[in-house]
Amino acid sequence: MEYVVSLAVFATIYAIAALSFNLLIGHAGIFSVAHAAFIGIGAYATGILTSRMTGLFPVAIVLGALVAAGVGWVFARATLRVSGDYMVVASFALLVIFAQVFTNWTGVTGGGAGLPSIPRPGFVDGDLLGNNVLFGLLCVLVAALMYFVSHRIVYSPLGRVLRALRENEDAAASLGKYVRRFRGVVFAVSSAMAAVSGSLYAHFMSYISPLDFTVHLTVLVLTMVIVAGTGRLWAVPVAAALVMGITDGVRYVDLPQQIAPGAQQILYGLLLVLFAVFRPEGLLGRKRDRASRPSATPDVPAQSLEVQDGGAT
């Protein structure tokens, strides 16, 4: 039972990260591989604060979100003219920079040895939510709040502007939309939400290290978004639970020693390829059939054709 609860907590935490990534890539059309860095910022910011001053979890999680939002805003403004493959390169550079910060700032982050003894959220002794079930309920409440925020953004005038930017930034700018401002806003909000998931992860694990926030984490979150279908908020929690269940189950399969260490990464890649090719609309998305597609030569009654021809002549 404890194993199932822990797996559900991880699925909920990663669902928050996937919601934030879906907002960025699914609705704004911005692909960044630096998402793991923002999750790490939230984890380290809250972990450092609460490990030194017990009982400040609410303040720490807000602080981590604000720090990540500030970094996301600056990065968005710095890469305003960058998109496509160049955006991938720029975001990967940001991920590498923060990986070095987490590793080499030993006096604050603990360096390669990691940051241990992160307490569970509490007000006095730091162990108010020591029970995994109670901590899981906290994660569900936070995930519900993040879903509400995402839903309000997507179905608001801001969401419509983001979709316009996704389709064509130049066209949106020609209509008087401030591309620079809106791109910074969505990056800041997405980064803050990712930091919240990192804060919950740090306090659930009670230990974090730079190896927890590499490009592999971005690939995991991306896999959840692709399985859910980009742009589909309600399917993200289901996809997160499914991906976590499948990938965690791989550990109990007797695999050859040569591929066992990288089995999860292989599975992520396989899921990405399969869904990109066969289910680009996501697992729960409505698959378009041929009848719903516009035909190049639509069926028009002969009488209509005669009327049209007669009118033309």
- Whether the CB-CB separation of 120 and 135 falls below 8 Å is answered with yes
pLDDT above 60: residue 222: yes
Coil, helix or strand at residue 131: coil
Helices (H) and strands (E) in the chain, counts: 13, 0
pLDDT for residue 145: 94
Distance (Å, whole) CA 224 – CA 235: 9
- Dmax of the chain from CA atoms? 89
Q: What is the mean pLDDT of residues 146-164?
A: 84
Rounded Cα gap, residues 85 and 93, in angstroms: 13
C-beta of residue 225 within 8 angstroms of C-beta of residue 274: no
- Write out pLDDT tens, residues 6-63: 889 999 999 999 999 988 887 777 888 999 999 999 999 999 998 887 767 888 899 9
Give which of 39, 57, 63, 44 is closest to 105, Cα–Cα: 44
Q: Which fold has domain 2-251+258-286?
A: ABC transporter involved in vitamin B12 uptake, BtuC (1.10.3470)
- Angstrom CA distances, 184 to 70, 88, 138, 162, stand at 10, 17, 29, 11
Mean pLDDT of the region 207-235: 87
Which long-range contacts link 211-215 to residues 24+ away (Cβ below 8 Å)? 212/40, 212/43, 213/36, 213/37, 213/39, 213/40, 213/43, 213/98, 213/99, 213/102, 214/36, 214/95, 214/99, 215/33, 215/36, 215/92, 215/95
Q: Token pair 């822990």 is at which residue?
A: 6
pTM of structure: 0.82
Q: Is the pLDDT of residue 292 over 70?
A: no
pLDDT of residue 42: 94
Which residues fall within 8 angstroms of residue 176, CB to CB, at 6 or more apart?
A: none
**Is it the case that residue 305 has pLDDT exceeding 50?**
no
